[in-house]
Amino acid sequence: MKAVAAIGRHRYFKPLAICRKMSEPAQTALDNRHADAELDLRGVICPYNFVKTKLKLETMQAGEILAVILDEGDPIRNVPRSVSDDGHTVLAQESLTGAYRVTIRKRAAA
């Protein structure tokens, strides 16, 4: 959505984010688009998809965002739950064609 400002006879557009502070969901959506790393685990069976996700998260800094592409079925049911159990935050689960993109924020160092 864009805001329109009129100056004299000229109109220009500026993003609403500039006009006002972003809401929490809008900021989360922005974060989801800018993952620090991405893993494509389509075709990887359980539990290897979780193991690979966990190993990748271990190499990342606290607060960084990992996007993981998973198959439908067991992977999309198990991996988000398992990373949540490990203390990470699942920001979003986006449906793709035949797969899902799960966005995860690494937990703060303990």
- CATH number reported for the structural domain that contains residue 99 in this entry: 3.30.110.40
If you average pLDDT over residues 29-41, what whole number do you get? 77
If you average pLDDT over residues 36-65, what whole number do you get? 96
If you average pLDDT over residues 19-39, what whole number do you get? 59
Catalytic positions, written as ranges: 46
Q: How confident is the model at residue 34 (pLDDT cuts 50, 70, 90)?
A: confident
2 falls within a domain:
no
CB 87 within 8 A of CB 59: no
If you average pLDDT over residues 64-81, what whole number do you get? 96
Domain coverage including residue 78: 24-105
Which residues, in sequence order, are CB contacts of 80 under 8 Å at separation 6+? 90, 93, 102, 104
13 falls within a domain:
no
35 falls within a domain:
yes
If you average pLDDT over residues 47-65, what whole number do you get? 96
- Number of folded domains in the chain? 1
Per cent of the chain over pLDDT 90 is 65
